[in-house]
Structure 1
Amino acid sequence: MLITTSYDPQPEQWEAALALSGQLKQLDGSQMAVRLVERKQFSLPRLRQRYSDSDIMLVSRERIEYYQEHQPVLFFHPSTAAIRIKRLINGEHDPLMELSAIQAGDRILDCTAGLGSDALVYSFATQGNGQVTALESRIIPYLVLKHGLGMYHSEVPGMDEAMRRIEVVQADHYDYLQKQPDNSYDIVYLDPMFRKPIHESSSISAIRFLADPRAVTELTILEARRVAKRVIILKEHRDSGEFARLGFAAVKRSTTKIAYGVITL
């Protein structure tokens, strides 16, 4: 993988690229060949050709971007979270927050963070008094999310603060749950890659090829039952058999293809 910057980088961009290179090498256990290269005036296709490497992580002034040939560029953006937060500000309802019975001061564990849309809404809804821990097992999405939450600036009141409060951890959710004390989180939330994908979802397309494709296991739910104090929520395709397989007795369906399964503790 190549690490580079946008054209004519500021010193802080180069420093960020250097730090990112070190993080990748550390997280990957040196299994990935990571090279920090100067952008100069090379286009991305020219860099690929010059260094015989198709994967590029680019550090710009506003964000980091991940490029892989024939795949959509991956970068952090709050996406639908910004719309949902605006609705909360206006006193409108959010189905996930209602199912969670979210309260100020809640501790939430998002086991499958992806690009953090639901974690961001949770963080905003706790009104600055709670804590959201967002787990992402895959290295590239983890770094894009962690840096994005720290760099992105929004004009939506309170959203920047909500982003900065989220703790992002690179971990497999089952391994992480095993290490947590009983009743240590009020809410445990799971939004895995759907067993029946929604291909028309533009927000998922950029991360689909990088995300962990594994299904949630029964052992994970057993650990979640121990760790969660109040509720476990699973987001899946409305026609999914995962709700029944994993013991989610209550399923709230909507007019979209998305549904939420709930285990109340």
Structure 2
Amino acid sequence: MIVTTAAKPTEQTMAKAKSLAEELSGQFQLRRGRTLSQLMTAGSDDQLIVVLDNEVRYYTGSTSEQPLYYHPSMAFVRVKRLLRGEHDPLIELSGCMPGDRVIDCTAGLAADSLVFSVAVGPEGSVTSLESEPVLHAVVREGLSSYKSGLPEVDEAMRRIKLERSNHTEYLASLPDDSVDIVYFDPMFEEAIEESSAIGPLRSLANHGRLSDSAVQEAVRVARKCVMLKEQRGSTEFERLGFTRCKTKKTSKITYGVIAVDRAT
């Protein structure tokens, strides 16, 4: 993997690029007037990260393809609705309240983590887990620097604690009844065509099937419930013991819940 910067980087951006190269076992390359394609060709490498002043972009295969970078996408619309006092299905169905502690076991671009973070507020906490190193790095940098134009949303992003970890191992390390909600949103086996915003994510994301052991650990540590997001026709709810929730018939996704109800 090659890590580089814009043509004229600041000292801070240069330092961040060098740090990312070390973290991801990549090679840092100065631009020296070269295009991104020229860097990839010269380095015989089809993976490239570009560190900009306020963004990190990941390219694979070709720089003509859309890069992966952090953006809240539809989560921004959802959190604006929450801030207006409107409802969100995930928050309603999970029973999430201000002050709750949430673990999002499958971070991806941390969209649902952001919704949870707004819902739990400053007095709550959201820990978001991502096992894939590049995706973890891109999202971590985005959460720390992205500016949405709404201070409440930016503060919610900064509060998310993103951990690079396997979710089963992480859950196994926690005490019983130590969080309120545990959430799973595995990568769907079939892409939803309308979700072009997460297209570049699919090449990096962990496509592993959610395991029974992960769900068992989640039930052990959750005080309120364990939630699963899946495509409407998925059989994963039945396989893993989740009760399907009622959602709009027009929605391509739905949720399942295992109610724990040990909250006091």
TM-score by length of 1: 0.94
Aligned equivalent of 1:96 = 90
Aligned-residue CA RMSD (Å): 1.2
Provide the rounded CA distance (Å) in 2 between the counterparts of 1:23 and 1:200: 34
1:204-249 deviations in whole A, cap 9, x for unaligned? Answer: 2110011001110111111111011101110000000000100012
Q: 1:39 aligns with which of 3, 24, 31?
A: 31
Aligned equivalent of 1:222 = 216
**DSSP 3-state at the match of 2:257:** strand
Aligned equivalent of 1:20 = 20
**AA at the equivalent of 2:101:** R
Aligned equivalent of 1:170 = 164
1:56 equivalenced with 2:48 (yes/no): yes
Moved more, 197-206 or 148-157: 197-206
**DSSP 3-state at the match of 1:198:** coil
Moved more, 204-213 or 65-74: 65-74
Aligned equivalent of 2:2 = 2
Provide the rounded CA distance (Å) in 1 between the counterparts of 2:184 and 2:111: 13
Provide the rounded CA distance (Å) in 1 between the counterparts of 2:43 and 2:190: 38
Aligned equivalent of 1:239 = 233
Q: 2:140 aligns with which of 133, 141, 146?
A: 146
Given that 1:195 and 1:240 are in contact with CA atoms closer than 8 Å, whether structure 2 keeps it comes out as no
Which stretches in structure 2 are left out of the alignment for 5+ residues? none
**AA at the equivalent of 2:50:** L
Aligned equivalent of 2:76 = 82
Aligned equivalent of 2:180 = 186
Provide the rounded CA distance (Å) in 1 between the counterparts of 2:191 and 2:41: 34
Provide the rounded CA distance (Å) in 2 between the counterparts of 1:60 and 1:196: 32
**AA at the equivalent of 2:119:** A
1:67 equivalenced with 2:65 (yes/no): no
Which stretches in structure 1 are left out of the alignment for 5+ residues? 26-33
Given that 1:250 and 1:263 are in contact with CA atoms closer than 8 Å, whether structure 2 keeps it comes out as no
Provide the rounded CA distance (Å) in 1 between the counterparts of 2:11 and 2:244: 53
Given that 1:108 and 1:187 are in contact with CA atoms closer than 8 Å, whether structure 2 keeps it comes out as yes
Following TM superposition, the consecutive aligned residue runs of length 4 or more in structure 1 with deviations greater than 4 angstroms are none
**DSSP 3-state at the match of 2:209:** coil
Provide the rounded CA distance (Å) in 2 between the counterparts of 1:238 and 1:250: 9
Among all aligned residue pairs of Structure 1 and Structure 2, give the percentage whose two residues are the same amino acid.
44
Deviation at 1:53, TM superposition (A): 1.3
Moved more, 156-165 or 198-207: 198-207
Given that 1:100 and 1:187 are in contact with CA atoms closer than 8 Å, whether structure 2 keeps it comes out as yes
Deviation at 1:99, TM superposition (A): 0.9
Deviation at 1:90, TM superposition (A): 1.5
Given that 2:114 and 2:157 are in contact with CA atoms closer than 8 Å, whether structure 1 keeps it comes out as yes
**DSSP 3-state at the match of 1:119:** helix
Provide the rounded CA distance (Å) in 2 between the counterparts of 1:161 and 1:87: 16
Aligned equivalent of 1:30 = none
**DSSP 3-state at the match of 2:246:** strand
Deviation at 1:102, TM superposition (A): 1.4
Aligned equivalent of 2:252 = 257
1:157 equivalenced with 2:157 (yes/no): no
**AA at the equivalent of 2:48:** I
**DSSP 3-state at the match of 1:252:** coil
**AA at the equivalent of 1:264:** A
1:139-163 deviations in whole A, cap 9, x for unaligned? Answer: 1110011111001112123011111
Given that 1:120 and 1:163 are in contact with CA atoms closer than 8 Å, whether structure 2 keeps it comes out as yes
The number of equivalent residue pairs is 257
